[in-house]
Chains A and B, each alone.
Chain A
């Protein structure tokens, strides 16, 4: 009991310090982006996957410098960037956010920092497609639910294939599964601009404007950002960035009213093209994986931290719930039952979203780590509670009675007779739950944490390669779970003295040996 109290106090202390840290504010410019947002916007440096690079990263850094602030990066899933902004996870968000009416309803936008268009790409030797209209009756790949998809639908009669990952689209185009690919120009350029088998055709299509999102109430910040953007444009710093990334296009020239030829080399683009030319040798691939290992290692630690914290929480709360359900007066027990039913009956993904994005609106704010650990912990507690309860009920009532008949109090009977037997019953399902939790912890990647799953996404998007990193991640997950499986086996065997009666051997073998005689 004392230990439990200390544990709870510790939890509260850690929680409150985590909250306090968040409240702390210096002269910082925190900005939200998605490290998987994709090239060339922002992505982990292929040479050092811990470093985030991209033309938008350069823009933010220049912007912060112009504003005299220190940029602080906050990672978030792209589709959650705007909710995260309104949840005050960061001051501004920049990551290829388009100025759409829907977005404008919930946040303000700075003046656009970049304008671009959609680019059609076909195979080198294909001369049949020159414009969008030529695509009728052909297979065209594009990004799911994008502006590009809308345009293709307007043309009609096109066999549209939508993708989540742009890299796959260009691979399919190169190997003939597609006839054309239709993407934002920067994506097209960084996906295939250096690929000798693919060429860009047709005029620029459509117009896309990227701007910085700022909370509605932060009017002063909006003005400040706009002033800084104008200053960066006028000083030529923005153009420098675009030149370096090979993103200076006629559209931008018109936008900035600057038709002078580029003075500096497209160094960033060239680096990218160098590392991404197709047909990497096997040895080079292995080298890359080696480079990614530290990043995977760190992500594995995050996964373990979240999982173990969540499991401790789940076991403690689960035990409390189970004991309440079994021993407390009926009306208190029914509260525990209700908790279990509600938590088990709703998706953990929704629970995590609710804790991280929903609770702040009533003033409860957790760091991503604690939101993840608490969310998973609360969820698994419901399952744990049911396991413990069934463990208790698996012990025959006569055991309880004979303990009482020996003069034990209820608590003594529980502690000495029922629980030791119940533990043996519940160890396998608890282990099972922990392994399941370890995998479910991948859900924390949606609340800005870089765990193993997120790292897989980041590194794969960077390398253009979902194969090798996928195997690496799978192996890491397996290795993380293995010690727990082993531990469970060991305890199960150690505690299975009951069944070691020589006649039948270990419980596991009962059915196996008996079938021999059938």
Chain B
């Protein structure tokens, strides 16, 4: 494939100072050299192999650990560490310690797929969970089916990963992909229910320029139609992810003078947007702003909290339901990290427990046995009681509330908060004639 002759020729021409020695073919020299190189390579490869087969249950997770949304991955890691130490301090999973390998998806499908392949084939994990971004989740779902390894999505919300392949042209759901947190369809169903209560007819959106932003807007319109909410949809803006200047988009929305806006912006983008919107007088001019997924960013970020009196959703509320499981989890988390747990921390925390329950019930870590266990499983955690639907989506409630500051916890909370049951029946009825899948 490569010849020394052409190399050397090229090198000579380029630099004019090639060492003459390197051009001679010395049989002894090259052989010794190769032996040394070969031995070195063997040692290196041997040193890197290993892992797997030992007496632990090993799970693999991928979250966004770097970049504009790293706060999501950090929250998830906290939940994972809590679950891991709780489980290992209490006898582990079937007597074996649980070990969790967390990798950075870099919010990129390419990287996430590579990390997942590496987790399955190199680290020999018994199960997978994680994912923050819908776009990444959509690309990962078919890969998971090929690897034949259960994947518990704990955050990425696109309904298409829990909508069986073929139901809609974007559907990628399959037997191996599950989700323990609520989907965009469930979340936006709650948004439409919230909108029904508000005195607003003209609606607009500002969302990130990818599937998540567009799907939010599509579902919102169709749910409003299905629920008979009197609404007109007058303006839409979709700035790219990690935009630093939202002012043109903000002005454009303000010019349209809507009564209310729904925004699925998230991560550092949401923080930046809120700061610039406040300066532009957004919250004086627009009556209601609905922050879908807002609490996931609010609790974890340092600057620009959600303004009080606006509406936000969460996939898990630290105070409702008022159960022992939820109160214990919240208090332990608060004690450790001085902040209320986000839904991403809770989703990841619960995924580890889901694996514990499935492995103990199946008496094995075989992928297919775990898939069987998860299918239709009833489970209970801080978020409450729920069951996995026919399409592997957890039947968790849609939670929307009014943002208000709580002195006791020194943090924004949702108060009052509404929980809308969002099972398959509610969603398919509310979607009416829409061709969008319920994802449940």
Query: Do A and B associate with each other?
Result: no
Binding site for A on B (CB under 8 A): none
Binding site for B on A (CB under 8 A): none
